[in-house]
Structure 1
Amino acid sequence: MKQWKPAASALLAFSLLLAGCSSEQDAVSKPPATQNKQEKPSQPANAAAGSETSKEIPDAVKKPLKIAAIVQLSIGTFSSQYAQGLKEQVNEFGGDVQIYNADNDLSKMASYVENAVSQKVDGILLDHGRADALAPSVKKAVEAGIPVVAFDSDLNIPGVTVIDQDDYSLAWNSLRTLAQDLNGKGEIVYVWVGGFTPMERRNVIYEAFKKRYPNIKEVARFGNASQNTALDTQSQMEALLQKYPNKGDIDAVFAPWDEFAKGAARAIKQAGRDEIKVYGIDLSDEDLQLIQEKNSPWTATAATDPADVAKLQVRFLYQKVAGEETPQIYSVQPHLVQKSALPEQKVSMNDIGKYVEGWGKSDAAISAWMETLSKEQKK
């Protein structure tokens, strides 16, 4: 995987697609020039992450680290696989991680950050969250000397590394496939909810997509985030199918979250509306099972490996604790997974690399001493 190049190519494509869209992407995807002199696009991923060549374990990470992982909302198998990735990587390094779920309450999330600072943890991991709610608490952590690495957040605080899935590319890969399959014309449903940084970014591309393909019309939009998002989406999609009962009323559904895609796909399949196809974002083992079901409407999804993203986030944190330089932002390269590319036999996330070119474990944020540290824990 090459840092920056996927995001850069996506930005170029989007700038040609819509100038206004391009400017917003640049604002989010490019670090301030005054803060990131060490982050050169031409550098390999490990160099940009400040990797050291010595295999000697830095003193700062020899002790078991106490880490607080604070998530905005934990729903579905994507979240569970992300959490599992965090635990596996921290355990491999001999540390301890406590995961705190804010249940979509940003004030509670900020409170968890404050508590972590008070407890003098060795590091803080953030999953989602918004800068307007978290910035004051995160700044306290930085001032206290506690390293912070965030995932899918709009934080822009010097010293805080923010990683993302390149949400612009995720949305464009899925929407472009939808447009090609419809031959640029059709009626679609958009399942979306605001209030989450990655969803807001994906919506930027959706709005550009509508201008790029004016003959693809949005006939309905709905969506909400809850502890039963997939089930709620299924119920809402069932009602929508009754409102649009005829073939040709709806050609496709764009669901930029796998919980939305699961609910929509189940409703469509149960209604026998096999002419309607679902295009999503995100992927998990549960999603793969649904995609591979006979007559499943879920046709394609753009995704990264949630467990791999979590492990990358942990490695950046350990590099920070060790005193190594890390980038302020880092985008993980997403991939398009199409039902047509998968075999008839059931596959898991561990198998995707056999069928999707480029899918695999990230080699970023790996320092030579990490192998030694892992071996020490196995003794």
Structure 2
Amino acid sequence: MKNFKLLAILLLLLSLFLGACTNEQDAVSPQQDGKASDKTTASKEDKNEGKKGENTASADIPEAVQEPLKIAAIMQFSIGTFSSQYIQGVKEQVEAFGGEVQVYNADNDLAKMATHLDTAINQNVDGILIDHGRADALAPGVKKALEKGIPVVSFDNDLNLPGVTVIDQDDYSLAWNSLKTLAQDLNGEGEIVYVWVGGFTPMERRNTIYEAFKERYPNIKEVAKFGNASANTALDTQTQMEAILKQYPNKGDIDAVFAPWDEFAKGVTRAIEQAGRTEIKVYGIDLSDEDLQLIQKENSPWVATAATDPAEVGRAQVRFLYQKVAGEETPAIYSLDPHLVKKSDLPGETISMDEIGDHVKSWGTSDAGVSPWMNALTEKAE
């Protein structure tokens, strides 16, 4: 009996203990759930606030570019209309951002180009653009600029230095687009003239593709090769092509000319026209308003060219430079997409470079080096 009473007392105490625990849990659980919910809500709010801050910051103008920048553009040469339209694009973009640009032309003298680079560094410019040139001449000066905290963006050269963005026109694609069109038009067989000069990074790259082209199309034979860069390359090329035409006076002696620079293409086109040998077709690289006029002429031998918009090249280079000044990451290398422009794709009436985009898809547009704050910077500068 005593055992039974003791057991009953123990069961009663146990039930009271369990009830108390249950009540305590019921009292505590909502508070814990509430705390967890508060934490989750706070976490979401923090994240959203962070995203909101990021979006706001992306539209704000970075402090480093709020004041007008002083930019130096160091050019190896300014031969031909491609160079003039390129520098026009540079000036347009810098001025749109409210800055100013000083252009230094080295007249195809690398030593002079290196001196111009030193001059710009000593003037403590905010950024440096380099057009063409060679690393062996420019690398010491570029390193000096970087040590002083002056960002550098170069175009069409062989610089390979940490911190420098090097842009190009994808010279390999340019050459292949033009050469492939030539080969297809000749059905893989014929005699051609090659106009070329060494010593320039884009020319060296285009020549690499030309050598591969000869392997790919062994029945296309090179009958003559010449070329040089001078103060009047187009006229010199015209004179040299006239001499070649005298060496090969008969129709069928020459089927086509590959001219991987528009200054070359202009010269050979004029020589062919004046000799009345318009059966010889010209395949070039690069494009400008002057080039377009030659291509669009009736019976023009210049039938195709691979190109990028030179003004957009300049604008993109400036945008990358402003990104660097603003402290944003930029790629070490960037190739703009080239386009093949064929005479047969152009309208009957004469058009300018500004109208090419109506006939060649994506011409003259690029998102290279674009940051969200650049629109605000442009509006501020207006």
Pairwise TM-score range, normalised by the shorter structure: 0.7 to 0.9
Which of these residues, 279, 286, 296, is aligned with residue 290 of structure 2? 286
Which of these residues, 52, 58, 64, is aligned with residue 62 of structure 2? 58
Which of these residues, 159, 167, 172, is aligned with residue 168 of structure 1? 172
Aligned to 1:91: 95
Alpha-carbon contact 1:55-1:368 (below 8 Å) kept: yes
- Equivalent-residue separation in structure 1 for 2:109 and 2:305 (angstroms): 28
- Cα deviation for residue 320 of structure 1 reads 0.3
- Equivalent-residue separation in structure 2 for 1:332 and 1:132 (angstroms): 25
- Equivalent-residue separation in structure 2 for 1:52 and 1:241 (angstroms): 64
Query: After superposition, what is the alpha-carbon deviation per residue over 1:89-114, rounded to whole angstroms, capped at 9, x for unaligned?
Result: 00001101000011111111111111
Q: TM-score, normalized by length of structure 1?
A: 0.85
Which of these residues, 186, 190, 194, is aligned with residue 186 of structure 1? 190
Question: Higher relative contact order by CA 8 Å / sep ≥ 6: 1 or 2?
Answer: 1
Alpha-carbon contact 1:52-1:367 (below 8 Å) kept: no
Asked if residue 223 in structure 1 is aligned to residue 213 in structure 2, the reply is no
Aligned to 2:207: 203
Aligned to 1:40: none
Alignment of 1:248-287 (within 5 A): 248-287=252-291
Which of these residues, 314, 318, 325, is aligned with residue 321 of structure 1? 325
Aligned to 1:154: 158
Which of these residues, 104, 108, 111, is aligned with residue 107 of structure 1? 111
Percentage of pairs with the same residue: 76
Alpha-carbon contact 1:127-1:153 (below 8 Å) kept: yes
- Equivalent-residue separation in structure 2 for 1:69 and 1:63 (angstroms): 19
Alignment of 1:15-164 (within 5 A): 54-164=58-168
Asked if residue 347 in structure 1 is aligned to residue 351 in structure 2, the reply is yes
- Cα deviation for residue 357 of structure 1 reads 2.3
Aligned to 2:380: 376
- Equivalent-residue separation in structure 1 for 2:56 and 2:84 (angstroms): 32
Which residue identity does 1:126 align to in structure 2?
Answer: I
Q: Structure 2: where are the runs of 5+ without partners?
A: 1-54
- Equivalent-residue separation in structure 2 for 1:133 and 1:185 (angstroms): 42
Aligned to 1:36: none
Q: TM-score, normalized by length of structure 2?
A: 0.85
- Equivalent-residue separation in structure 2 for 1:53 and 1:288 (angstroms): 43
- Equivalent-residue separation in structure 1 for 2:106 and 2:213 (angstroms): 33
- Cα deviation for residue 351 of structure 1 reads 1.2
Which of these residues, 309, 313, 316, is aligned with residue 313 of structure 2? 309
- Equivalent-residue separation in structure 1 for 2:127 and 2:136 (angstroms): 21
Seen in structure 2, the aligned counterparts of structure 1 residues 239 and 368 have a Cα distance that, compared at 3 Å, is: same
Which of these residues, 281, 297, 304, is aligned with residue 300 of structure 1? 304
Aligned to 2:17: none
Alpha-carbon contact 2:77-2:106 (below 8 Å) kept: yes
Which of these residues, 238, 242, 245, is aligned with residue 242 of structure 2? 238
- Equivalent-residue separation in structure 1 for 2:142 and 2:216 (angstroms): 39
Q: Structure 1: where are the runs of 5+ without partners?
A: 1-50
Seen in structure 2, the aligned counterparts of structure 1 residues 345 and 116 have a Cα distance that, compared at 3 Å, is: same
- Equivalent-residue separation in structure 2 for 1:136 and 1:254 (angstroms): 36
Structure (1 or 2) with the greater helix fraction: 2
- Cα deviation for residue 358 of structure 1 reads 2.9
Give the CA RMSD over aligned residues.
1.1
Report SS of the residue matched to 2:59.
coil
Report the number of matched residues: 328
- Cα deviation for residue 53 of structure 1 reads 6.2
Alpha-carbon contact 1:82-1:309 (below 8 Å) kept: yes
Aligned to 2:4: none
Report SS of the residue matched to 2:373.
helix
Report SS of the residue matched to 1:126.
strand
